[in-house]
Amino acid sequence: MDDTFRVLVVDDERLNRVTTKQQLTEHHYVADTAENASQALEKLKTGNWDVLVSDIRMPGMDGLELLKEVKQKYPTISVILVTAFGSVETVVSAIKGGAADFLTKPFRFPELDFRLRKLKELHDTRKEIKYLRDNMSTAETYYKLVGQSAMMKTVFDRIQIFANNTVPVLIVGETGTGKELVSKALHLQSPRSEKPFIPVSCGAIPKDLAESELFGHEKGSFTGAVQRRLGYFERAHKGTLLLDDVDDLPLETQAKLLRVIQEGTISRIGGDREIHIDVRLIATTKVDLGDIVDTGEFRKDLFYRLRGMEIHLPPLRNRDNDILILAYHFLQLTAKDTKTQPEGISQEASNILKNYEWPGNVRELKRVIESALVLSRNAEIHHEHLPDYLQIHSRNQLANTSLFSLKLDQCETIDFKGLTKQIEDELIQWALVKSNGQQSQAADLLDLPRTTFQSKLGKKK
């Protein structure tokens, strides 16, 4: 996607046009100018513009009329209106007409730059969402594994390389990253795909039954053994056995597992013969086995038998744009199951999803999308449809981010009153825009009594 940001400046005052274009160019924007609304509309026909920065008071068609024309013909272009005669009525008219922002003359270029940067973030999110919607059908899906990040492409490559081998594979990744899906992909890609795939949750096996569950037992071999039972290894003969969370196996069972890997045979509890088994073994772990080898919780010899062919699944927070790709993937899956046609995910909700750390990884994201779709009643998912903890996290991020920064290194003196007044005017304008001109709501946004807000607003006019 193109990273350039194209800005068309419309002003009947030549000096303003030329100066603003020069400053935009110096700050790496693509910029051009028009001296009136008619010329601007002609240039909009031939250029792919992102933002229109227009004066309001101009001969002929004024800025508000130009805004109306632009929003009708080019709805994706953001419009910033500029005037030396700011008033509440003008701001409200501009916002209701679809203006993205509002500047009062005289303004310094950093003010415009700040607004353009915010709009670029918004445009980038829009482009990303459109890109995802347009390309979801071609997003790389590998045996239900979805992703376009470089890390996931490495995982896909490893699956293809390892699938045709018979030696054990160790899959390492946090809980919820999709280790079992990778295991199934390895099995389905292998020559054993028509044979059994047996997944075993090692953490769910009672410690005193682990050996029986894995290797089986003969009738009467212990109290309660009323009949012969085949273990998971025998059931997976000629196929694939997945030992999920192998780090949860008791040490004594680890010793027997090592012997099975080395010899290729098992012996049922109470049995008197060795049984040859042909099993492709896949083990997963949510921890670094090397660390628990050092603490004595995992056998070193078993560790060295399992490692070698390893696949490391990255946490979702490290997978670049895969968060939104997966979000839309789960949206489509859920919609298919419920036979609905959801509209998508809003830009604000998308930003919240992208900026969250996802400790539960892909599994957590899937659940969030499923619940959000229910709350949205199959319409577009907005921020209020996301779980409370995600919304709180987003608000906390904003609270911990500085609202503005001052570059004072080159200043010899500072007009304190003027700078303070400028910041106050910016806050008032922000609140009016946010509240769509509703003064009571704007006062609440600034945590000010309405009378105080109205007093400050009167001084601003």
Tokens matching residue 167: 């030696």
- What is the structure's pLDDT at 395? 77
Q: Are strands 275-276 and 265-266 parallel, antiparallel or unpaired?
A: antiparallel
Under CATH, what is the fold of the domain 145-314? Rossmann fold (3.40.50)
Q: Return the bridge partners of 240, or none.
A: 197, 280
CB 365 within 8 A of CB 326: yes
Q: pLDDT digits over 89-110, tens only?
A: 676 777 777 888 888 877 788 8
Residue 86 binned pLDDT confidence (cut-offs 50, 70, 90): low
Residue 287 binned pLDDT confidence (cut-offs 50, 70, 90): very high
Q: What is the CATH number of domain 321-399?
A: 1.10.8.60
Cis peptide before 387 (omega within 30 of 0): no
Residue 399 binned pLDDT confidence (cut-offs 50, 70, 90): low
Q: Return the bridge partners of 275, or none.
A: 266
Q: Phi, psi at residue 386, to the nearest 5°?
A: -80, 155
Residues whose CB is less than 8 angstroms from the CB of residue 209 and which lie 6 or more positions away in sequence, other chains included: none
Residues whose CB is less than 8 angstroms from the CB of residue 443 and which lie 6 or more positions away in sequence, other chains included: 431, 449, 450, 452, 453, 454
- Dist CA 101 CA 343 (whole Å): 27
Residue that is written with structure tokens 């008619």 in the block: 38
Q: Specify the length of the chain in residues.
A: 461
Q: Who has greater pLDDT, 70 or 128?
A: 70
- What is the structure's pLDDT at 1? 39
> Does the pLDDT value for residue 443 go beyond 70?
yes
Q: Which of these ranges, 42-51, 153-162, 427-436, has the smallest mean pLDDT?
A: 427-436
Rounded to whole angstroms, what are the CA distances from 96 to 152, 161, 433?
A: 45, 58, 9
CB 222 within 8 A of CB 177: no
Rounded to whole angstroms, what are the CA distances from 298 to 18, 213, 248, 321, 345?
A: 71, 20, 9, 36, 44
Under CATH, what is the fold of the domain 6-133? Rossmann fold (3.40.50)
> Does the pLDDT value for residue 136 go beyond 70?
no
Domain pair 145-314 / 321-399, same fold: no
Q: Return the bridge partners of 8, or none.
A: 32, 52
Cα end-to-end span (Å), the chain: 42
Rg from Cα positions in the chain: 31
- What is the structure's pLDDT at 432? 76
SS (H, E, C) the chain: CCCCCEEEEECCCHHHHHHHHHHHHHCCCEEEEECCHHHHHHHHHHCCCCEEEEECCCCCCCHHHHHHHHHHHCCCCEEEEEECCCCHHHHHHHHHCCCCEEEECCCCHHHHHHHHHHHHHHHHHHHHHHHHHHHHHHCCEECCEECCCHHHHHHHHHHHHHCCCCCCEEEECCCCCCHHHHHHHHHHHCCCCCCCEEEEEHHHCCHHHHHHHHHCECCCCCCCCCCCECCHHHHCCCCEEEEECHHHCCHHHHHHHHHHHHHCEECCECCCCCEECCCEEEEEECCCHHHHHHCCCCCHHHHHHHCCCEEECCCHHHCCCHHHHHHHHHHHHHHHHHCCCCCCECHHHHHHHHCCCCCCHHHHHHHHHHHHHHHCCCCCECHHHCCHHHHHHHHHHHHCCCCCCCCCCCCCCCCHHHHHHHHHHHHHHHHHHHCCCCHHHHHHHCCCCHHHHHHHHHHHC
Residue 292 binned pLDDT confidence (cut-offs 50, 70, 90): very high
- What is the structure's pLDDT at 14? 92
Taking the model in full, what pTM does it have?
0.66
CA 31 from centre of chain: 32
Tokens matching residue 162: 């390892």
Residues whose CB is less than 8 angstroms from the CB of residue 142 and which lie 6 or more positions away in sequence, other chains included: 156, 159, 185
Q: Return the bridge partners of 6, or none.
A: 30
Q: Who has greater pLDDT, 234 or 47?
A: 234
Q: pLDDT digits over 153-199, tens only?
A: 999 999 999 999 999 999 999 999 999 999 999 999 999 999 999 99
Residues whose CB is less than 8 angstroms from the CB of residue 231 and which lie 6 or more positions away in sequence, other chains included: 212, 213, 214, 215, 216, 217, 266, 268
CB 284 within 8 A of CB 246: yes
Residue 138 binned pLDDT confidence (cut-offs 50, 70, 90): very low
Q: Which of these ranges, 115-119, 285-289, 454-458, has the smallest mean pLDDT?
A: 454-458
Domain ranges of the chain: 6-133, 145-314, 321-399, 416-460
Residue 401 binned pLDDT confidence (cut-offs 50, 70, 90): low
- Dist CA 325 CA 346 (whole Å): 14
Cα angle for residues 77, 80, 83 (degrees, 5° grid): 150
